[in-house]
Chain A
Amino acid sequence: MSKELETTTQPDDFQRLLYRNQTRIYAYVLSLVGNYPDADDIMQDTITVMWQKFSDFQAGSDFIAWGIKIAQFKILDYRRSKQRQKVVQYDDDILEEVISRATEAEKHFDERVEILSQCLKKQKERYFNIIKLRYFDGIDPKAIADRTGLTMSNVYKLLSRAYSQLLLCMKTTMARRGGTSLEWN
């Protein structure tokens, strides 16, 4: 886990630490939860607990690891609650493996974001545009469908291909750099 060493636990430092690191904690949560709405809720609850317990955070220790530990409890609560109503992402017996891989992925987060940024620029117009509309303009898939005349199915397929192309580009770029790589072919 990458280190976020801090020398003070002043309350105004909380927001600075959170702002710099919350996306990494969110990535961990999303990896285990599997969907945006539930990940957002869990993240919000996690931040609330982190804020309440910030006086327990030890200066010099790893803020991200601390946040992820709190998030894990929230995720387990979520799974227990949701499993009564529906099938949740990942069976229980592989959860440990998922946690292990999500933890490993977090170590290389900064590098991945930098590569993602480069790969975004390289995308074909249609893939770049759908990502831009979805994430930068904040238009939901239904609205994209309504306003273009595309079917919802087409919009999701386009998103799916855009994600696929981005991941492929990231894998190729990381392999070319000779550092860590995405472990699938």
Chain B
Amino acid sequence: MELRLKQELDSLLTKALEDIITQEQQKRLNSLVRENPEALQYCVDFYTMAASLRRQDRLAGVFIESSATWQGDQQALLDALLQCEQTAPSVEICTVKPEPPKTEKPDATKATPSKINKVWPITALTSLAALLFVVIMANISPPPVESREVATLVDCIYTQWAPADQIMEIGTRLRTYSPALILQGGIAKLAFDNQAQLVIEAPAQLSIVDHNRVRLYHGMVFAQVPERATGFTITTENSTIIDIGTEFGVRVDKHGDTELHVLEGKTELVTASAPHDRPVAVTVGKAKKITGAQATIADIPCNNHLFVRAFSVDDGIVWRGEPLDLADIVSGGNGFGSSVGTKAIHPVTGRWRQGLTPPSSEWRKDTYHYMQVKGSPYIDGVFGVDPAQGPVVVDSTGHVFTQCPTTCGYYWAEIVNGSRLKLANNDSTAELYPLCLNGQYYNTAEHPSILLHPNCGITFDLQAIRQTLPGCRLKSLEALCGISQLVPTDPKADFWVLIDGEIAFEKRAATKQDPPTQIHIPLNEQQRFLTLITTDGDQDLGYDWTLFAEPVLVLEQRGVSEETEQAAVQ
């Protein structure tokens, strides 16, 4: 193939590849390909190479290896490129002009009288003018590259973007070929058109390379990638992480060190020390740290609670995978540690109190009704338990605890979070009410509990909890139950857990000597009400310090398509 043809093809194909080719140039390219079989083959080979570069997972190792020897940052690389170009030898400017007509070479055997070519100066001047014209035209900027919209900002909380005047509202479409996204504060969620989702936590800097790839310069990102978007890739300074249908988090610190935590499914990790033909598989529950330009890979513990996975702007909830704490809800919180103060709930009135009423040896009795609790969307209501007064209603839709045992009919205390246990007159309760099961105290923030002294119950609204975090599913209730081992007498009591009025767990006649009993109740989407009840086991309330220790709802993230369906249903 002639050099001139090849050069012209190179120029036209490069423009075509980036979709900046003009119509005239496209026609010229089509013409060259039609007329030259070699040109057609060259095109095919060119595009095969371009496709490999674009989807360059298998070539990433080459670039990462080079990063190991490159001491500068990206800007230094750009500066080096400029310097190269400024000192590079001048090259012929590619032009798009027709092939000059072929002329016969003169026959050297024939003698021809020498002539002065009077036309030469004119031809030379014309050629020079043409060359100048070409130089001028070549330096006019071609049409701008057409970037593509590939993702949407779908949610954000407390966000602060840089520059400050950058408009980033929910619904903003995000493009390739755009400046990097710089999140200085808050959390943002991006949804790609291929249904991959990213939650970005500030401070972070990220650029969208194409519809299936981002570059994370620094910060924390949690990716949820459905099957349709398999191959979604996050690149960092020293690694490339390729999704194979999974949920994973990536953190890049200010030194450029990368952490990968895989929470679901599988990823492949490509680095200088794990090149493309020998990637490292990182599967669920595993995590790796990639350090330095040499990209040393080390195992680290997988942290399921490190990355923001979901958030609720309305409720101010940021979820990192931790379970929802029912004790926190009992003291007025959102289940994620937002409660303050020492609020307790009166089981008869359903009203909030600032702590337990002063200790009294008197047991109290009242007419019990199911009372809805205002002030917490997650608590449906509370009630006293005395079947002698009539059916024991356990939720606002009227479910009845049909198998409720006979009780003495009295109650003694408010329903309270053991870690916020205080008397209403501010006296310390730690010595008065030591809440201890099997040597572990459950009156701290690290080990909370619900002190549910008989004969009372409290009902949580699971549907309201689901609506707060539509990206999550309630998987199960987990708790321990028992009577505090430090009470001075030998009480007996019963523990009950009901789901929509049906018994899901019972522990009858528990004593302080019994080890705490594990509660594990799987939950499904149809269940609405979760009720905890304690009843006196022996018609005696004395020292029935009955605890539900560390009662939590375990959450799991919905799949992307499932989240979309759930939102449609709601």
Binding site for B on A (CB under 8 A): 11-12, 14-16, 18-19, 22-23, 26-27, 29-31, 34-40, 44, 47-48, 51, 86-91, 94, 97-98, 101-102, 105, 109, 112-113, 116-117, 120-121, 125-126, 128-144, 147-154, 156-161, 163-164, 166-167, 170, 182-185
For B176, list chain A residues within 8 Å (CB).
140
Complex A-B, nearest 5 residue pairs according to Cβ-Cβ distance, in ascending order? A138-B209, A27-B51, A140-B177, A136-B63, A15-B230
Surface stretch bound by A, among B39-47, B102-110, B295-303: B39-47
A125 to B85, CA, bound (A): 11
Surface stretch bound by A, among B6-14, B125-133, B515-523, B548-556: B6-14
- 0/1 per residue, B188-227, Cβ < 8 Å to A? 0000011000000000000111110101000000000001
Closest chain-B Cβ to A182's Cβ sits at a distance in Å of: 5
Inter-chain contact B141/A97, CB cutoff 8 Å: no
A88 to B21, CA, bound (A): 11
Inter-chain contact B11/A101, CB cutoff 8 Å: no
With both beta carbons as reference points, the residue of chain B lying nearest to A26 in the complex is identified as: B51
The prevalent SS among residues of A at the interface is helix
Inter-chain contact B81/A152, CB cutoff 8 Å: no
For B145, list chain A residues within 8 Å (CB).
140-142
A183 to B29, CA, bound (A): 19
Residue B54 lies at the interface, judged by CB distance under 8 Å to chain A: yes
Residue B19 lies at the interface, judged by CB distance under 8 Å to chain A: yes
Inter-chain contact A150/B17, CB cutoff 8 Å: no
Closest chain-B Cβ to A116's Cβ sits at a distance in Å of: 6
For A15, list chain B residues within 8 Å (CB).
227, 230, 244-245
Quick one: given A15-B244, A140-B147, A156-B18, are A98 and B44 in contact (CB under 8 Å)?
yes
A86 to B281, CA, bound (A): 45
29 A-B pairs (CB sep. < 8 Å): A18-B231, A19-B231, A30-B54, A35-B19, A35-B21, A51-B228, A89-B29, A89-B30, A90-B33, A98-B40, A102-B48, A105-B44, A117-B276, A125-B84, A126-B81, A129-B77, A132-B63, A132-B66, A138-B213, A140-B145, A148-B78, A148-B85, A153-B138, A160-B13, A160-B14, A164-B6, A164-B7, A167-B46, A184-B1
Inter-chain contact B26/A36, CB cutoff 8 Å: no
For A120, list chain B residues within 8 Å (CB).
59, 62
A12 to B77, CA, bound (A): 41
Closest chain-B Cβ to A111's Cβ sits at a distance in Å of: 11
With both beta carbons as reference points, the residue of chain A lying nearest to B50 in the complex is identified as: A30
Inter-chain contact B10/A163, CB cutoff 8 Å: yes
For A129, list chain B residues within 8 Å (CB).
77, 80-81, 84
For A88, list chain B residues within 8 Å (CB).
26
With both beta carbons as reference points, the residue of chain A lying nearest to B7 in the complex is identified as: A164
- CB < 8 Å neighbour of A19 from B7, B78, B244: B244
- Known pairs A51-B228, A143-B177, A164-B10; list 7 more (Cβ under 8 Å): A27-B47, A89-B26, A126-B81, A129-B80, A137-B74, A152-B142, A167-B46
With both beta carbons as reference points, the residue of chain A lying nearest to B227 in the complex is identified as: A15
- CB < 8 Å neighbour of A135 from B16, B54, B91: B54
- CB < 8 Å neighbour of B60 from A97, A134, A136: A136
A164 to B227, CA, bound (A): 36
Inter-chain contact B62/A11, CB cutoff 8 Å: no
Closest chain-A Cβ to B223's Cβ sits at a distance in Å of: 15
For A133, list chain B residues within 8 Å (CB).
74, 77-78, 81
Quick one: given A120-B59, A132-B77, are A11 and B148 in contact (CB under 8 Å)?
no
Quick one: given A135-B54, A167-B45, are A158 and B85 in contact (CB under 8 Å)?
yes
Closest chain-B Cβ to A169's Cβ sits at a distance in Å of: 10
Closest chain-A Cβ to B36's Cβ sits at a distance in Å of: 9
With both beta carbons as reference points, the residue of chain B lying nearest to A103 in the complex is identified as: B44
Residue B56 lies at the interface, judged by CB distance under 8 Å to chain A: yes
Closest chain-B Cβ to A149's Cβ sits at a distance in Å of: 6
With both beta carbons as reference points, the residue of chain A lying nearest to B147 in the complex is identified as: A140
- CB < 8 Å neighbour of A151 from B40, B139, B179: B139
A35 to B45, CA, bound (A): 14
- 0/1 per residue, B78-115, Cβ < 8 Å to A? 11111011001001011000000000000000000000
Inter-chain contact A89/B82, CB cutoff 8 Å: no
For B80, list chain A residues within 8 Å (CB).
125, 129
Closest chain-A Cβ to B464's Cβ sits at a distance in Å of: 34
Closest chain-B Cβ to A75's Cβ sits at a distance in Å of: 13
Residue B38 lies at the interface, judged by CB distance under 8 Å to chain A: yes
A164 to B245, CA, bound (A): 36
Inter-chain contact A131/B53, CB cutoff 8 Å: yes
Closest chain-B Cβ to A23's Cβ sits at a distance in Å of: 4
Residue B374 lies at the interface, judged by CB distance under 8 Å to chain A: no
Closest chain-B Cβ to A80's Cβ sits at a distance in Å of: 17
Inter-chain contact B194/A126, CB cutoff 8 Å: no
For B215, list chain A residues within 8 Å (CB).
137-138
With both beta carbons as reference points, the residue of chain B lying nearest to A27 in the complex is identified as: B51
Inter-chain contact A22/B52, CB cutoff 8 Å: no
- CB < 8 Å neighbour of B40 from A51, A94, A166, A182: A94
Residue B443 lies at the interface, judged by CB distance under 8 Å to chain A: no
Residue B58 lies at the interface, judged by CB distance under 8 Å to chain A: yes
- 0/1 per residue, B241-258, Cβ < 8 Å to A? 010110000000000000
For A97, list chain B residues within 8 Å (CB).
40
Quick one: given A87-B27, A91-B30, A163-B10, are A47 and B1 in contact (CB under 8 Å)?
no
For A51, list chain B residues within 8 Å (CB).
227-228
Residue B425 lies at the interface, judged by CB distance under 8 Å to chain A: no
Closest chain-A Cβ to B177's Cβ sits at a distance in Å of: 4
A160 to B8, CA, bound (A): 10
For B213, list chain A residues within 8 Å (CB).
138
With both beta carbons as reference points, the residue of chain B lying nearest to A102 in the complex is identified as: B44
For A98, list chain B residues within 8 Å (CB).
40, 43-44
Inter-chain contact A185/B84, CB cutoff 8 Å: no
For B231, list chain A residues within 8 Å (CB).
18-19, 22
Residue B15 lies at the interface, judged by CB distance under 8 Å to chain A: yes
For A47, list chain B residues within 8 Å (CB).
228
Closest chain-B Cβ to A97's Cβ sits at a distance in Å of: 6
- CB < 8 Å neighbour of A136 from B1, B23, B56, B211: B56
A88 to B148, CA, bound (A): 19
Inter-chain contact B52/A23, CB cutoff 8 Å: yes
Quick one: given A90-B33, A166-B49, are A11 and B227 in contact (CB under 8 Å)?
yes
Closest chain-A Cβ to B199's Cβ sits at a distance in Å of: 20
For A131, list chain B residues within 8 Å (CB).
53
Among A105, A113, A125, the one with the most B-chain Cβ atoms within 10 Å of its Cβ is A113
For A152, list chain B residues within 8 Å (CB).
141-142
Closest chain-B Cβ to A108's Cβ sits at a distance in Å of: 9
Inter-chain contact B15/A37, CB cutoff 8 Å: no
Inter-chain contact B141/A112, CB cutoff 8 Å: no
Inter-chain contact B146/A37, CB cutoff 8 Å: yes
